[in-house]
Structure 1
Amino acid sequence: MSSSPAVGLLAATPASAAPARPHQPHASHVLLISVDGMHQQDLDWYVGTHPHSTLARLAATGTTYRNAVTPFPSDSFPGILAQVTGGDPRTTGVYYDDTWNPSLLPAGTTHCAGVKPGAEVDYAEPADRDPSRLDAGQGLTGLPGSILSLTGSPEQLLDPAQLPVDPATCTPVYPHQYLKVNTVFEVARRHGLVTAWSDKHPAYDLLQGPSGTGIQDLFTPEINSVADTAGDDWTSVNRLTQQYDGYKVRAVLNEIDGYDHSRSVKLGTPAVFGMNFQTVSTAQKLPASDGQAGGYEADGRTPGPVLSSALDFVDSQLGRLTTELTRQHLADRTTIIVSAKHGQSPTAPAQLTRIDDGAIVDALNAAWNTAGHAGPLVAFAIDDDTVVMWLTDRSAAAATFARTFLLHHDGTGNDITGAPKPYVASGLTQVYAGAAAAALIGVRAGDERVPDLIGISQPGVVYTSKKSKIAEHGGDNPADRNVPIVVSGANAAAGHRVTRSVETTQIAPTILRLLGLNPDELDAVRIQHTPALPN
C-alpha cells in the first residue's frame, strides 16, 4: 500500500506515448447521456406510450441492451465512473461521493505531524467554495442567467480547506487525485481529441482522471445551491430541476456547434462529451412537486404526473440535441449512448419503509460502549437504501459485533403516508462485515478504502430521518441497478435488442472502440478484462 494515497494513485495511469489507433473509427463523436434514476422499465413505458418520441426513435434506430446493470453501490460516483473508466469500485477505489478513508487526514489539516489518520472524503457540495451559489462561489453576477459563464475548470471552485489531506505531502487531495484509474476522456486527450462533460457538482473534477487534465471543458453548476427566494435548492421542486438541467443542455448545444460550454472559445465539436439529467431522479424522490404527486402509480410501473413530466422534458431536450447534430451535419458521424448512473428504489409506493439510520448508528455505538469499549464504533456511515459503514476498530471482532447488532435491531419507521411502520433487522436482508465485505466488492481484506460493513436493504427501505423523499439509490435491489443502455447513430444496429446481461462498465471500452481507439488503454479495462458491449 502506498504511504501517499494521492501520489500513489497518480502513478496508476501509464505515462507512455499514446499507441496508434488499432482500426479506423466508426464514429467521430460519442455523445454520452446519463438520465439519472431512469430504469429500463421507464424506457419501455415511455417508448410504448410515446411511439413518435426522440427516445423511441433512438431505440428504433439503435441497439437496446435490456438487461443492463450499474455497479454496486449504485451511487452517482460509481455509476458515472463505470461508464467512463470501465471499472467498478474494486478498481476505481470510489464507493460513494461521500466516504471515509482511514489513511487520509481531516480536511483543513495544515500541520500534519502527529495528526491521527482517518478522514471523511466528501466530494459533493460541501467541497465548494460557496455551496449556496449556483456558481459554487465563482462570483458571477446575474445568476442564474449568467451561469453559462461558469469556468470549465471546476477544480478552481473547490475549497482546499474542505478536502481531505494527504499525510505524505500535507496537501489537499482533489477528487481527480482520488481516482485510481484513468478515464475515456484522458485516453481521448492523449490522442489529441477534444473532450467535454457537464454534471451536478464541481467535485465532478473526479472525471478529469488522475492526470487532472482529461476534460477540456467541464461545466459543473452546483445543483444543491439556493434556487429561489423560498430557499429551495434545484432538487426540491422538479420544475427547478428541469430549469437546472436546461443550462447543461445549452452547454452541450454550444459544444455540438464547436464551442466551449460558454460559446466563447472555439474548440471543435468534442470526440467524447455529454451530460447527466437530474430531473427524472428528483421526480422519483419527491413525494410531491408543484401540487402533483411524485414517483409512480400504485402499480409501481406507471410514472405519476411529476415523473411523466420529467420524462417528457428529457425527451424534448434529447430532441434538441439530435436536431442540432443534424443541423451541424454531424448526425451520421455521431454515436449517442443513453444510460443512467443509477436507478431508484422503491417504485411501488406501498413498498416504502423510511427508517431513521441516525438512530440505528446511535444505538450501535451505545451498544458498543455498553460492551465495555470507549468511544463510537462507527467512524462514518452513508445510508441511502443500503448501509455502508467504516468502523473505528477494523478488527474482525468489531465487524462481527456490528453485524450481529444490525441483524437483531428492530424498530419502527414510517410508510408512504407517514404512518408508523415496523421494521426488523435494521431493514436489512444481508450484512457483509470485515473480510466478507471486502470479498463482496472484490478487494483484499483490509483494503484502506473498502467499507468495514455493507448492508443490503430489504426491498422498499429508504434510510432517512425525514419524510421528504419516497425513493433513493445506492442499494442492490433491481430497481437500483437495472438501467437502460441505448446505443444509436453511427455504427449502431437499427432496432436491435440485446437480452443478454451487460454492465454499464462496458460503455467505456465501447466509446473507445467507436472512436477507433484501443480499449486496453483504460486501466480498469485491463484489470477487470471489461469487454465492449456486444453487437
Structure 2
Amino acid sequence: MQAGLSAPVPEGEHGLRGGEERRPHHAWSDKHPAYEILNGPSGKGLDDLFTPEINSIAPAPFNGDWTKDNAATQQYDGYKVQAVLNEIDGKDHSGTKTAAVPGIFGMNFQAVSTAQKLPTSDGLTGGYLQGGTVPGPLLSKALDFVNASVGKFESALAASGHAKDTTVILSAKHGQSPMDASTLTRVPDSAIIDGLNATWKSAHPGSADLVAFSTDDDIMQLWLSDHSQAAAQFAKDYLAAHPAAGNDINGAAKTVTTSGLSKVYAGSEVANYFGTQTSDARYPDILGIAQTGVVYTGGKAKIAEHGGASADDRDVPLVVSGANDEHARTVTTAVETTQIAPTILKTLGLDPNKLQAVQIEGTKTLPQR
C-alpha cells in the first residue's frame, strides 16, 4: 500500500523561467535502496530518498527481518511515517535539516502486506476470512495502523497550513493471492527447478543447469542459460508434463498438475505477452501463470504472495482526496494505477505529456467524476 501526497508548487517553481523548466522538491520513502531507480535516467528525480531495508534484521524482541512479525513491520513503517511528518514540517526525512515542503512526496506501507501473508503473528490470524471477503484480525489491525498513520499526515498538513492545498492519493502496488485461504496450495519451486535441470542435462550431457535465475511467487519467471527458442520450448514442455507436490492451508499434502501452472509462455511467446521485441534481453525465457491459489514457497511460512496475474493481485483500492473536493463520490469508470502519475503532474500544473509512458501508451489522467 502506498500513500502519496501532492502539494501545490510555489510560484516560480514550475513553468518556463529564462528558457528552463524547473520542478518542485521531490521526496519518497520505500522498502529497498533499489528504489533509487525513482531518480530516473538523470539521477536527479528525487531530492530526499529514505529507503531503510525491510529485509534487514529487526532488533529484539523480534527474530529475523522486519517482515517476519507484523508488529515489527508496523515499527518499521513507523520510521517512514515519521520521515513524511518531518517533510510536512519543512525538514528533510531525518528531521535534522531545513528543507522545502515537497511538491510530490509519500511512502510505501508494508504492514498490510505482511498481515496478508503471515499465517499468524502477535497472537492473531493473518489473511482474510469468509472466503476472502473480510479482513481477518491481524489484517484489520494493520489496516487500522495505516489509517491512523494517514490521520497523522492529515493533522500535520492542517497544522502546517497545507490541508487545503494538498491532494492525498492512497493506492497499492499490488494485492496478494489467494485471498480465499481454502484455495491455497504452497508449492516448493526448488523441486520443480531441480527436476527441470536434471532432465535438461540428461538430454544434453555436459550442459550447465538450464535455469540460471528464477523469481517465483504466485507466478513463475525463469531465465535460462540457453536463450534459444528450442530450450524455452523444452522447459515449457517439462513444466506442462509434470505434477508438483505441495500443501494446503492446513499443511496437508496436496498435488497440483502441470507444475501448478495454468498457462506457460516460452521464448517469443513471453515477448509477445509483455509487448516487447524478441531482441529485448530483459524478459524471462519462461513465464508461467499460476493456477488459482498456488504460491511457490517452501514450508508453511506464507498464505499468500504477489506478482501473478489473478484479480487478487491486480485489483487494488484507489482513493484520491483532492484539495478542492468537498463531497465524497465513487467513480465507477474503470481505471488503472498507471493513471496516477499523469494525474499528479496535472494537479501540479505540469504537463502529463512530458512523461515518456504517457507519450508511448497514451495514458490518461484519472477521471474527475
Q: Say if 1:430 and 1:190 are closer, same or farther in 2 by CA, change over 3 A.
A: farther
Amino acid in the other structure paired with 1:275: M
What is the distance in 2 between the residues matched to 1:498 and 1:467?
Answer: 39
Alignment deviations for residues 218-270 of structure 1 (CA, whole Å, 9 cap, x no partner): 01111111113353211111111111111111110110111111112222210
Contact map agreement 1:196 1:217 (CA 8 A) in 2: yes
| Aligned pairs (5 A) from 1:242-261 | 242-261=74-93
Matched positions, count: 352
Alignment deviations for residues 419-454 of structure 1 (CA, whole Å, 9 cap, x no partner): 101111111111111111001100011311011111
What is the distance in 1 between the residues matched to 2:233 and 2:327?
Answer: 52
Match of residue 217 from structure 1: 48
For the pair 1:432 / 2:265, whether they are aligned, the reply is: yes
Which of 391, 404, 409 is matched with 2:242 structurally? 409
Match of residue 17 from structure 2: none
| Secondary structure at 1:380 match in 2 | strand
What stretches of structure 2 of length at least 5 have no aligned partner?
7-19
Amino acid in the other structure paired with 2:291: Q
Alignment deviations for residues 11-64 of structure 1 (CA, whole Å, 9 cap, x no partner): xxxxxxxxxxxxxxxxxxxxxx716xxxxxxxxxxxxxxxxxxxxxxxxxxxxx
Match of residue 196 from structure 1: 27
| Secondary structure at 1:338 match in 2 | strand
Match of residue 456 from structure 1: 289
Contact map agreement 2:83 2:93 (CA 8 A) in 1: yes
Contact map agreement 1:335 1:492 (CA 8 A) in 2: no
Contact map agreement 1:364 1:377 (CA 8 A) in 2: yes
For the pair 1:275 / 2:243, whether they are aligned, the reply is: no
Match of residue 215 from structure 2: 382
Shift of 1:492: 4.3
Shift of 1:313: 0.4
What is the distance in 1 between the residues matched to 2:159 and 2:359?
Answer: 38
Match of residue 392 from structure 1: 225
What is the distance in 2 between the residues matched to 1:362 and 1:402?
Answer: 12
Match of residue 279 from structure 2: 446
Alignment deviations for residues 60-112 of structure 1 (CA, whole Å, 9 cap, x no partner): xxxxxxxxxxxxxxxxxxxx9xxx9xxxxxxxxxxxxxxxxxxxxxxxxxxxx
Amino acid in the other structure paired with 1:280: V
Match of residue 286 from structure 1: 118
Amino acid in the other structure paired with 2:105: F
Match of residue 198 from structure 2: 366
Shift of 1:297: 1.4
Backbone CA RMSD of aligned residues: 1.7
For the pair 1:482 / 2:328, whether they are aligned, the reply is: no
Q: After the TM superposition, list the runs of 4 or more consecutive aligned residues in structure 1 that deviate by more than 4 angstroms.
A: none
| Secondary structure at 2:57 match in 1 | coil
| Secondary structure at 1:263 match in 2 | coil
Shift of 1:326: 1.0
| Secondary structure at 2:332 match in 1 | strand
Shift of 1:190: 5.6
Contact map agreement 2:57 2:65 (CA 8 A) in 1: yes
Amino acid in the other structure paired with 2:126: G
| Secondary structure at 2:41 match in 1 | coil
| Aligned pairs (5 A) from 1:43-192 | 191-192=22-23
What stretches of structure 1 of length at least 5 have no aligned partner?
1-32, 36-79, 85-188
Q: Say if 1:296 and 1:505 are closer, same or farther in 2 by CA, change over 3 A.
A: same
Shift of 1:493: 7.1
Match of residue 65 from structure 2: 233
What is the distance in 2 between the residues matched to 1:360 and 1:491?
Answer: 54
Contact map agreement 2:264 2:289 (CA 8 A) in 1: yes
What is the distance in 1 between the residues matched to 2:172 and 2:235?
Answer: 33
Alignment deviations for residues 168-208 of structure 1 (CA, whole Å, 9 cap, x no partner): xxxxxxxxxxxxxxxxxxxxx96231110011111111111
- % identical aligned pairs: 55
Contact map agreement 1:355 1:414 (CA 8 A) in 2: yes
Match of residue 311 from structure 1: 143
Shift of 1:332: 1.0
| Secondary structure at 2:317 match in 1 | strand
For the pair 1:497 / 2:318, whether they are aligned, the reply is: no
What is the distance in 1 between the residues matched to 2:198 and 2:367?
Answer: 51
| Secondary structure at 2:105 match in 1 | strand
Amino acid in the other structure paired with 1:235: T
| Secondary structure at 2:101 match in 1 | coil
TM-score using structure 1 length: 0.64
Shift of 1:521: 1.2
Deviates more, 1:512-521 or 1:296-305: 296-305
Match of residue 297 from structure 1: 129
Match of residue 472 from structure 1: 305
Shift of 1:411: 2.4
| Secondary structure at 1:502 match in 2 | coil
Which of 320, 337, 344 is matched with 2:152 structurally? 320
What is the distance in 1 between the residues matched to 2:90 and 2:256?
Answer: 54
For the pair 1:34 / 2:2, whether they are aligned, the reply is: yes
| Secondary structure at 2:230 match in 1 | helix
| Secondary structure at 1:499 match in 2 | coil
What is the distance in 1 between the residues matched to 2:305 and 2:124?
Answer: 19
What is the distance in 2 between the residues matched to 1:505 and 1:488?
Answer: 18
What is the distance in 2 between the residues matched to 1:438 and 1:514?
Answer: 35
Contact map agreement 1:414 1:421 (CA 8 A) in 2: yes
Contact map agreement 2:168 2:321 (CA 8 A) in 1: yes
Contact map agreement 1:298 1:350 (CA 8 A) in 2: no
Match of residue 514 from structure 1: 347
Contact map agreement 1:195 1:273 (CA 8 A) in 2: yes
What is the distance in 2 between the residues matched to 1:335 and 1:526?
Answer: 24
| Secondary structure at 2:316 match in 1 | strand
Amino acid in the other structure paired with 2:27: A
Deviates more, 1:419-428 or 1:290-299: 290-299
What is the distance in 1 between the residues matched to 2:58 and 2:304?
Answer: 22
Deviates more, 1:225-234 or 1:423-432: 225-234
